[in-house]
Amino acid sequence: MNLNNKEINSLGELKSAGYKSKSIKDELRDNLRDKIKKGEETFEGVWGYEDSVIPELERAILSRHNINLLGLRGQAKTRLARLMVHLLDEWIPVISGSEINDDPLKPMSRYAKELIAEKGDDTPITWLHRNERFYEKLATPDVTVADLIGDVDPIKAANLKLSYADDRVIHFGMIPRANRCIFVINELPDLQARIQVSLFNILEEGDIQIRGFKLRLPLDIQFVFTANPEDYTNRGSIVTPLKDRIGSQILTHYPDDIETARKITEQESHLDPRQSDAVYVPDIAKDLLEQISFEARNSEYVDAKSGVSARTSITAFENLLSTAERRALLTGAEKTMVRLSDFLGVIPSITGKIELVYEGEQEGADGVAAILIDDAVKSLFPEYFPKIEKLQKKDAETPYDELIHWFFQGEGFELLDDFTDEEYKRALDRIPQLNSLLKKYQPDFPKNDAYFLKELVLWGLVAHKKLSKNRFAEGYQFKDLYGSFISGL
């Protein structure tokens, strides 16, 4: 029930308005029912979960369950929990001055009961907005029961001249203060087992126990836990009785396709408008960027149990634009476009986000990042040009023979990092065989993106060991694989 909170300021006015108390789980359930009936989107801005995670989450909310979101890092677990706030009523009444958001019609704390006994229908109330009804705690090994549930406060006892036997000396922890709110505990397995045990009663009976007090507070909280499967083996685990008390465990996952991954990256990237305006990014470059994360998740060098966060693509995209922007600033250009050679700039975003297995450590983080970029080029290449076979007959002709022959006869080809866009285009136009390949296999490809595609041909031939590519201080050099060796002889 959404009342006009500006007009109702006392318990008597609230009763006259016909307000009825409702638990937070019923609140979420009723508002979700309304949204589903109206065909409204329930969790906006979360892509790739429409047919998997979101239906399960909706079922859990309709069942009034506490929820555990289980998945690898960067799978929007915390975001889903935060979006649940939009399913709450916009405003709820609270007894003024209550530490634990006492419901005026169902007071729990001693403070609230005594205030109502004293003032009756004149008891003042305030209104709490749904945005203030979200509490979040990262579980770390140093979290204590006092942090979460509460403890005796000796300073309060001294100030109020109370004995320790009086329950007014209690300082409530985060969970009681989150009464009538959504409470999220991130990385639950990192919480010490004895602390997890302290949550049993709250989840099952909804009450808390502090020290030796005969305190029973039937708390009204929607709990959402998040956990990473890797944590079960590395750092801790969820104790079985606690797991038993969590109504629904929902498995999250990474995007299934490039299109979904691109939506997430474009939505989450924090870009300066000047950067977006100055740097043009071809669609094929966006696909290649996402493909790097897909390659990392299947790479023999990367620890699959740790996962490859969606943040890898987001930060890599930001770095990619910054690489092109920096070049534009150095050359004095107003606008520029992303080149495949700019992908060197995304390597720091990749190395910080992936956990390597032993073989990966041997290659080195930078080496693995370079391999992932090459693998992404290899995967994307057959979508635009004929596949390059690993094994083929000795004299079999391929569409790339003329291009490889051009490199065999020449001294190589250089693409410098600080080339202006005109110099970059002129350099690629110098290779007539590249133009022929594009004309034959991609005649309708957008003109603006054609130069990125030309560079993809070169990188694709390098990835398939048909050409060699060397990095030097100023840029890249492409050569025939054997020509330079023969000419040296």
- Indicate whether 5 belongs to any domain: no
Residue 488 has pLDDT above 70, yes or no: no
Whether residues 339 and 476 fall in one domain: yes
Q: Which of 251, 284, 319 is the last residue of a domain?
A: 251
pLDDT, tens digit, 9 for 90 and up, residues 317-340: 999 999 999 999 999 999 999 999
pLDDT at 352: 86
pLDDT, tens digit, 9 for 90 and up, residues 157-187: 666 666 655 666 777 889 989 999 999 999 8
Question: Is 222 in contact with 66 (CB distance < 8 Å)?
Answer: yes
- Indicate whether 2 belongs to any domain: no
pLDDT at 207: 65
Whether residues 244 and 288 fall in one domain: no
The residue-averaged pLDDT of 183-196 equals 89
Strands of the sheet containing 182-186, edge to edge, are: 134-138, 182-186, 222-227, 67-70, 248-251
Q: Which of 218, 251, 284 is the last residue of a domain?
A: 251
- Indicate whether 6 belongs to any domain: no
- Indicate whether 168 belongs to any domain: no
Whether residues 223 and 343 fall in one domain: no
What is the domain range of residue 199? 11-144+174-251
Among candidate residues 71, 49, 75, the one with its CA nearest the CA of residue 293: 75
Whether residues 63 and 94 fall in one domain: yes
pLDDT at 211: 66
Whether residues 306 and 240 fall in one domain: no
Amino acid at 132: E
pLDDT at 412: 76
The residue-averaged pLDDT of 135-151 equals 86
Whether residues 303 and 206 fall in one domain: no
Interatomic CA distance for residues 433 and 126, integer angstroms: 75
The residue-averaged pLDDT of 391-404 equals 78
Whether residues 318 and 410 fall in one domain: yes
Listed range (143-152, 252-261, 296-305, 439-448) with the worst mean pLDDT: 143-152
Handedness of CA 360, 366, 369, 374 (dihedral sign): negative
Handedness of CA 127, 129, 130, 132 (dihedral sign): negative
HSE (side-chain half, CA atoms, 13 Å) at 450:
19
Q: Which of 251, 277, 298 is the last residue of a domain?
A: 251
pLDDT at 395: 63
Residue 4 has pLDDT above 60, yes or no: no
pLDDT, tens digit, 9 for 90 and up, residues 22-37: 999 999 999 999 999 9
Residue 124 has pLDDT above 70, yes or no: yes
CATH number of the domain within which 64 lies: 3.40.50.300
231: which 2 tokens?
């944590």
pTM of the model: 0.86
Whether residues 210 and 325 fall in one domain: no
- Indicate whether 167 belongs to any domain: no
Whether residues 217 and 290 fall in one domain: no
Whether residues 429 and 410 fall in one domain: yes
Residue 312 has pLDDT above 90, yes or no: yes
- Indicate whether 344 belongs to any domain: yes
- Indicate whether 159 belongs to any domain: no
**Number of structural domains the chain divides into:** 2
- Indicate whether 424 belongs to any domain: yes
pLDDT at 481: 76
Whether residues 119 and 183 fall in one domain: yes
**Confidence class of residue 145 from pLDDT cuts 50, 70 and 90?**
confident
Whether residues 314 and 358 fall in one domain: yes
